[in-house]
Amino acid sequence: MSSKRLVKLIVISDFACPWCFVGHRELQTAISQCANLPISFEVEFRPFILHPTLPFEVLDKNDFVSKKIGRERWEDCKRMAMERGESVGINFSFGGPVSLTLSAHRLIAKAYEIGGPAAQAAVITPIFRAYHEDELDISDPEVLADAAEQADIMSREEALSFLKSDDCLEKVNNQVAEARAKGVTGVPFTIIDGKWAVSGGQSAPVFVKIFSKLAETPAVPPSQSSTPVPAAAVAVA
């Protein structure tokens, strides 16, 4: 029996983005629905900072986003996110604080160093839930330490020690800069095998269509210089 082809996914996202949480759920569903295809998946999550000008202090989420994009647009966004979230088992709650997500991104970068994609995947959902469902401050080291312990990637004490350091700070800043240099302006943004890109919180069927087409296509090494192109070209019959 031939081995499965490995499909490498890089998911660029920010915990402050509700569509990133939705997209994460949809991608998980799509991967599970592709279990019978002759492909396997390796998923790496990389950072994006939607609100880079946020001060190092906690602000009211509704006030901040309303001032940034307008109250009417924010109300529309919340309504659409709640409808979409309900379909994938997310109970969005839009109260609570907003703060810089840098520490949360540092934690998932460290998780990747500790245990690769599996460790990252384990800690991402608790952080998303803390912010989008439980209205918690995900810049708070105590909140992130709870997520790390829940994911079993390190103890609370180890997580708190890490978060007090500058470990992974340069790595995260470099990855954010790299994403922007490649033209990423919004998230989620999923890069497939270094060549194709899927922008936005797409539904599981969209991903399944792309993955099914890839399962029929010989693997091609990614270009070292080119920017990933839209994956629609892969998904067409």
The pLDDT profile of the chain, 237 residues, written as one tens digit per residue, is 457 899 999 999 999 999 999 999 999 999 999 999 999 999 999 999 999 988 888 999 999 999 999 999 999 999 999 999 999 999 999 999 999 999 999 999 999 999 999 999 999 999 999 999 999 999 999 999 999 999 999 999 999 999 999 999 999 999 999 999 999 999 999 999 999 999 999 999 999 999 999 998 877 666 554 567 666 444 533
Q: What is the signed CA dihedral for 126, 128, 132, 133, rounded to 10 degrees? A: -20
Q: Which residue has the tokens 């499909």?
A: 7
> Could you give the 3-state DSSP secondary structure of residue 91?
coil
Measured CA to CA, the distance from residue 134 to residue 119 in angstroms comes to 22
pLDDT at res. 224: 52
CA max distance for the chain = 58
Q: Which of 163, 169, 44 is nearest to 115 (CA)?
A: 44
pLDDT at res. 56: 82
pLDDT at res. 142: 98
pLDDT at res. 130: 98
pLDDT at res. 220: 64
Q: Which two tokens stand for residue 228?
A: 């990933």
- pTM recorded for the entire structure: 0.92
Tell me how crowded residue 199 is: count the other CB atoms within 10 A of its CB: 17
Provide the β-strand partners of residue 190.
11, 198
Q: Within 1-98, where are the H helices?
A: 18-33, 61-69, 71-87
Question: φ, ψ for residue 40 (rounded to 5)?
Answer: -125, 170
Q: Which two tokens stand for residue 141?
A: 């080291």
Provide the β-strand partners of residue 40.
6
In order of 39, 82, 229, 230, the CA distances from 2 in angstroms are 11, 43, 29, 29
- Does residue 154 contact residue 148 with C-beta atoms inside 8 Å? yes
Measured CA to CA, the distance from residue 176 to residue 206 in angstroms comes to 26
In order of 3, 204, 234, the CA distances from 38 in angstroms are 8, 18, 17
